[in-house]
Amino acid sequence: MNETTLIGLVISILQFGTLLYLAALGETIAEKSGVLNLGVEGMMAMGGVIAFFVGVGTGNPWLALIAGAVAGAALALVHGLVSVVMGADQVVSGLALTILGLGLAAFIGRDLVSEPPGAQFSALDLGPLSDIPWVGPTMFSMTAVSWLALALGAIAAFFLTRTRVGLQLRAVGESAATADAGGTAVVKFRLVAVAIGGALAGMSGGYLTLSLAPGWSEGTTAGRGWIAVALVIFGAWKPGRVLIGSLLFGGLIALEPRLQTFGVEISPILLSMLPYVLTVAVLIAISIRSRNRPSVAPAAIGQAYRREER
């Protein structure tokens, strides 16, 4: 096993980690406010196709990325409107969002399939830092988007734990009625959280089509949105742990095509099952642990909130 292959592996891990983390971070924020959004795959696809489209049109990767984020947020607000404001079932609405997002993305992108990418993110040149052995060619050669993901994660963690608004967001996700009684606008918080979740998922899709696998094709999201949903649980709804999980699951994805080079005989397909199996195991562990104490899951997740009348 030589250095180049190992470095290649690490780079790939960081790339997939970024992809997964952006989407999972967004979903974490949404779920923390009590909204389950199963439409991540759809938002990712929409973000990806719009970002690619804008990239081809303008040649500016940042504009494209932002466009992708906006597309994701817009789609997420459909789910928000129907399930948070109107109180319809979040599971059904989220799944419909996945179907809608994937279908719409395929529709919009039908002519973009063999189009060469118009804009891409290249590795950030950090000067002498990239010459450091091992860390240089890997971590310090990440694209700006990866650094952005890290920054967003740090901001989210700070925001959730150290600001009162973050406290209110968490309160809305634990007990909407209590938060409401204390003067917090439940619906507003949830909508904003869902929109942020959509924006990050869209950004993740944009990263996919602009950087990780430049180009657009139907199905390019390849189930990664579902991994992001799993990651939120795996990371116990904490941005820091979700990051670790993203790297872990990203590592599993990165290993798939490389198993043979590393001399491992297991079929890569079986390896790719691991993230899902691991998530189920973690979920079971959480359930067993919360027999005698409250679960780490936001208590109000999935429940619509309507103020009662008197």
Partner 1 sequence: MFAVELDGIWKRFPGVVANAGATLRVRPGSVHAVLGENGAGKTTLMNVLAGGYLPDEGSVLLDGKPQHFTRPADAIAAGVGMVHQEFRLIPTFTVAENVVLGSGPWLLSKSAIETQVAELADRFHLATTPDREVWQLSMGERQRVEILKALWTDARVLILDEPTAVLTPPEADELGRITRSMADDGRCIIFISHKLDEVTSFCDEATVLRGGQTTAASLPVADLDAGRIAELMVGEATEVSQRRNRIEPVGDTVLDVSSVVVTDVRGRTVVNGVSLDVGAGEIVGIAGVAGNGQRPLADCIAGLTRTTSGRVTVDGNDITTDKPSARSAAGLAYVPEDRLGVGLAPRMTVTENTMMRSYRRLSKGPFIDRSAADAETDALIDTYNVKVGQKKSPIAALSGGNLQRLLVGREVETNPRVLVAAQPTRGLDVQGVAAIQQLLVDQAAAGIGILLISEDLAELFALSDRLLVMHEGRVVGTFDPDDATRADVGAAMAGVRQTATAGITVEGA
Partner 2 sequence: MFGYRFVRRETPLWGGQLRAFLVGLLIALLAGAVLLVLAGHSPIDVYSKMFSSSLGSTRAISSTLGRAVPLGLAGLAVAVAGSMGMWNIGAEGQIIAGAIGGAWVARLFPDLAGPVLIPAMLLGAVAGGALLALGPAIVRSRLGVSEIITTLMLNEVAIRIVRYLVNGPWQDPASNNFPVAPILPEQSQLPTLFERANIGVLIAAVVLLGVGAFTARSRWGYELRIAGSSEQTAEYVGISLKQKVLTVLVLSGAIAGLAGGLELTGSADRLVEGVANGWGFAGIIVAALALLRPSGVAAVAVAFGAIQIGGLAIKTQGVPSSIANILQAMILFGALAAAVFGTHTLVRSTASTSVSSTTAAGADA
Residues of the shown chain interacting with partner 1 in the complex, contacts defined by CB under 8 A: 161-165, 167-168, 170-171, 174-175, 177-179, 181-184, 293-294, 299, 310
Region binding partner 2 by CB under 8 A among candidate stretches 122-130, 147-155, 207-215, 268-276? 268-276
Nearest to 249 by CA among 272, 281, 280: 272
Per the DSSP assignment, residues forming a β-bridge with 2 are none
Nearer to partner 1, 32 or 224 (CB): 32
Cβ(294)–Cβ(24) below 8 Å: no
Query: Exposed/middle/buried for 94, CB within 10 Å: 0-12, 13-18, 19+?
Result: buried
> Least distance from C-beta 131 to partner 2, angstroms?
40
Cα 21 to the chain's mean position, in Å? 5
Cβ(172)–Cβ(34) below 8 Å: yes
- CA dist 29 and 193 (Å) reads 6
Give the 3-state secondary structure of residue 308.
coil
Nearer to partner 2, 120 or 272 (CB): 272
> Least distance from C-beta 160 to partner 1, angstroms?
11
Region binding partner 2 by CB under 8 A among candidate stretches 16-24, 85-93, 149-157, 241-249? 85-93
- Residue 287 sits in the site that holds partner 2 (CB under 8 A): yes
> Least distance from C-beta 124 to partner 2, angstroms?
33
Nearest to 25 by CA among 176, 214, 166, 154: 154
Q: Please state, as a whole number, how many other Cβ atoms lie within 10 Å of the Cβ of residue 25.
A: 30
Nearer to partner 2, 7 or 81 (CB): 81
- CA dist 138 and 132 (Å) reads 10
Residues between 201 and 220 that touch partner 2 (CB under 8 A): 218
The binder of partner 2 chosen from 125, 128, 269, 292 (CB under 8 A): 269
Partner touching 151 among partner 2, partner 1, none, CB below 5 to 8 Å by kind: none
Q: Provide the 8-state DSSP code for 215.
A: S
Per the DSSP assignment, residues forming a β-bridge with 143 are 123
Residues that bind partner 2 (CB under 8 A): 38, 78, 82, 85-89, 91-93, 95-100, 102-104, 106-107, 110, 177-178, 180-181, 185, 187-188, 191, 218, 223, 226-227, 229-230, 233, 267, 269-270, 272-273, 276-277, 279-280, 283-284, 287-288, 306-310
